[in-house]
Chain A
Amino acid sequence: MSRRSNALDLHIPAPRARPGDAPDFSGWSFPEPGETPRPEIDAPAVELREFAYGLIRVLDMDGAAIGPWAPRLAPEALRRGLKYMLLLRAFDERMHRAQRQGKTSFYMQSHGEEAISIAQTMALDPSDMCFPSYRQQGILIARDYPLVDMMNQIYSNKHDPMKGRQLPVMYSSKKDGFFSISGNLATQVPQAVGWAMASAYAGDVRIASTWLGEGSTAEGDFHAAMTFASVYRAPVIVNVVNNQWAISSFQGIAGGENTTFAARGVGYGVPPLRVDGNDFLAVYAVTQWAAERARANLGPTLIEHFTYRAGPHSTSDDPARYRPTDEARAWPLGDPIERLKQHLMVLGEWREDQHRAAQEEALETVRATGREAEKVGVLGVEGAHEATSMFDDVYKDVPWHLRRQREDLGA
């Protein structure tokens, strides 16, 4: 085929670095910490457009908190946040290993993204409703959900609150304001908007918050959600966790080559905040801003958390096959735990030995809880669940055909 001089050409995005290449973040520039102004919560969305293209930062790389977004949290709260993040990381490491040891079928870590789920949960009210994706287990941890029940779920054992029905990490806890996780991407986002609409309808005071990955923003559900959130001014926070990679596809495949994910909010007239997702304080501050705005009946906020998925997508994934292995280490915005630790040390509120002790405590908690859960059982132990229990909860009442099938199975 000879090409015409005016021939069209199909563009296929490609990341800068693949396995064998050096990580390449050159040419990236971020506003300095403290540089971005903090608008009033009632600023009209049209005046907030520029926030979509910047990056709200509080912590500098030496651990100082700077500027109008600094949330002025008490050292005690900062230490709590740090300990939650340490617990989350220790938990993730152990459960990832448990899958490798054949104790369960699947696991997903939130390595590198811990600040998002932990800081946001701390900034929200405990009664606010969360519609997470599969990578915000930190919400349960920061709401002090029993760690052992998370493990029981992962092991599908006798005490699994999901009765062995769900893939590991697909938790649910109504009393903790944590919606049942779906494996179908982005479905939770319009549901969060609907929950928020109901809360507004009922004259409630609780708001909703929802999370999805940047890859999932391509799904229609996200756009449906944004439309409804905007139209009905729903009291909801929509969080896009931009960790650069979906599975093997980089954020350019979701549209990140041409704009930011926060900028999706511009088209819908929803305030778009873009934040350093590895900066605990900045994440806390933007969440607080969005929550206040929602509580004041001023409607939704879209937050893009700019971060990096430091671990594999899941236990089924080997990232060395599609990205440089040292990309996480080269991430220009560091590690969320290290950065908050540094900040506390700069404040004189934390020491290296305290940090080591806190790390050890997190590991020990996870170890002890692991033993407890494994004593109950791991995946595949016969008799953990009555086979006929699979027919429960399909409907409120069991219809005749399911009763018949249950009898057939039991026979």
Chain B
Amino acid sequence: MASMTMIQALNSALDVMMERDPNVLTFGEDVGYFGGVFKVTEHLQKKYGAKRCFDAPINECGIAGAAIGMAVYGLRPVIEIQFADYMYPAYDQLVSEAARIRYRSANDYTVPLTVRMPYGGGIYGGQTHSQSPEALFTHVAGLKTVIPATPYDAKGLLISAIEDDDPVVFLEPKRVYNGPFDGRRDRPVIPWSKHPASDVPEGYYKVPLGKANIVREGADLTILAYGTMVHVAVAAVEDSGIDAEVLDLRTLLPVDIDAIVASVCKTGRCVIVHEATRTSGYGAELSALVQEHCFYKLEAPIERVTGFDTPYPHALEWDYFPTPPRIIKAMRRAMEA
């Protein structure tokens, strides 16, 4: 075991998989010599050579398309899109191609591809370094979508994603790369080393796709969250005094419906939290699932706490970013209903 940040854990996952499987390789903008702008691929070029960890031209369409071709050949490419905000040129390749090749070839060709991308706000990154586009992937038949919230899960989930035989979009909450930021900006920054989920095995292990994690047990209300918002939700529960259960979904597609149903049917109340814009966001899907499966157990309308339906505003970031007080308000509404 070692104490790792999320960046170190992701780096370790890549290292473990490149060591085990010569078919695993990684590339993307600034990924090679430099080790990526967030350092997730640091040292890998030195260790495995430039053919297994290299810089790509600034062309996300090409990065995705070439990776699909490699996957079709039989490799297991892991590509980095420098920021999720820059994935749009790759979207056609991911949606029309990666997602459908198994289906359209009647299982003749497959695409065991992992697409890593840092996402989310809270870093004063403005409109083009802050977006949360997960719903654009969960809406696509044929893609899996994964979002870790801790170093331990990041490594185990990334290894599962790389070993998965279908294309996986792996969104990394960059605000918690270096520490479990919980939205309480008035408190000192907490490093990962103070958090139990930073204890990460150095070798191979997996966290299965499709399994949620109960981060905090509670009886009165269920909060469904993922990524950075898991930590913000836990902080909200602490500050609220409400005995809420916090579920870290970890995989958005296929989502762990059993865990969601068990929790919400137990508590009868549900608050959904995400950073992404609200309308047609992933919370809408969660809300529909809860309604379909737990309707007769619900004691209150389902609440959503989300980013607003605007582009990400630079200077007004802290009015936009869902913080504990906003979550607590929604929790109280759910409790009082």
Q: Is B214 an interface residue (CB 8 A)?
A: no
Given B30, B34, B125, B313, which contacts A164 in the complex, CB threshold below 8 Å?
Answer: B313
CB 8 Å contact bits of B94-128 with A (1 = contact, 0 = none): 00000000000000000000000000000011111
Q: Which residues of B contact A170 (CB under 8 A)?
A: 126
Q: Is A127 an interface residue (CB 8 A)?
A: no
Q: Are A185 and B308 in contact (CB under 8 A)?
A: no
Given contacts A166-B314, A167-B125, contact A247 B37 (CB under 8 A): yes
Q: Which residues of B contact A105 (CB under 8 A)?
A: 124-126, 314
Given contacts A167-B129, A387-B316, contact A248 B55 (CB under 8 A): yes
Given contacts A12-B51, A184-B88, contact A219 B315 (CB under 8 A): no
Q: Is A72 an interface residue (CB 8 A)?
A: no
Q: Is B259 an interface residue (CB 8 A)?
A: no
Q: Which residues of A contact B128 (CB under 8 A)?
A: 167, 182-184
CB 8 Å contact bits of B12-43 with A (1 = contact, 0 = none): 00000000001000000110111001000000
Given A1, A185, A390, A394, which contacts B320 in the complex, CB threshold below 8 Å?
Answer: A390
User: Contact size class for A?
Assistant: 35 or more
User: Contact size class for B?
Assistant: 35 or more
Q: Which residues of A contact B58 (CB under 8 A)?
A: 185-186, 215-216, 218-219, 246, 254
Question: SS class of chain A's interface: helix, strand, loop or mixed?
Answer: loop
Q: Once the chains are docked, how many angstroms separate the CA of A12 from the CA of B33? A: 11
Q: Which residues of A contact B316 (CB under 8 A)?
A: 164-165, 385, 387, 389-390
Q: Once the chains are docked, how many angstroms separate the CA of A402 from the CA of B309? A: 7
Q: Are B51 and A253 in contact (CB under 8 A)?
A: no
Q: Is A342 an interface residue (CB 8 A)?
A: no
Q: Which residues of B contact A220 (CB under 8 A)?
A: 59, 61, 89
Q: Is B278 an interface residue (CB 8 A)?
A: yes
Q: Once the chains are docked, how many angstroms separate the CA of A380 from the CA of B315? A: 7
Q: Are A218 and B57 in contact (CB under 8 A)?
A: yes
Q: Which residues of A contact B32 (CB under 8 A)?
A: 12, 249
Q: Are B55 and A384 in contact (CB under 8 A)?
A: no
Contact residues, B49-91 vs A (CB, 8 A): 50-51, 54-59, 61-62, 85-86, 88-89
Given contacts A390-B308, A390-B320, contact A218 B59 (CB under 8 A): yes
Contact residues, B298-312 vs A (CB, 8 A): 308-311
Given B37, B54, B59, B315, which contacts A156 in the complex, CB threshold below 8 Å?
Answer: B315
- Report B's interface with A, CB cutoff 8 A: 22, 29-30, 32-34, 37, 50-51, 54-59, 61-62, 85-86, 88-89, 124-129, 278-279, 308-311, 313-316, 319-320
- Report A's interface with B, CB cutoff 8 A: 1, 10, 12, 14, 18, 105-106, 156, 160, 164-167, 170, 182-186, 215-216, 218-221, 246-249, 253-255, 316, 321-322, 379-380, 384-385, 387, 389-391, 394, 401-402, 405, 409
In the assembled complex, 16 residue pairs joining A and B whose CB atoms fall closer than 8 Å, in A order, are: A156-B314, A165-B313, A166-B126, A167-B127, A183-B129, A185-B86, A218-B59, A221-B89, A246-B30, A249-B55, A254-B57, A322-B33, A379-B315, A394-B309, A401-B309, A405-B308
Given A218-B57, A248-B33, 5 more pairs with CB closer than 8 A: A12-B51, A247-B37, A253-B56, A322-B34, A391-B310
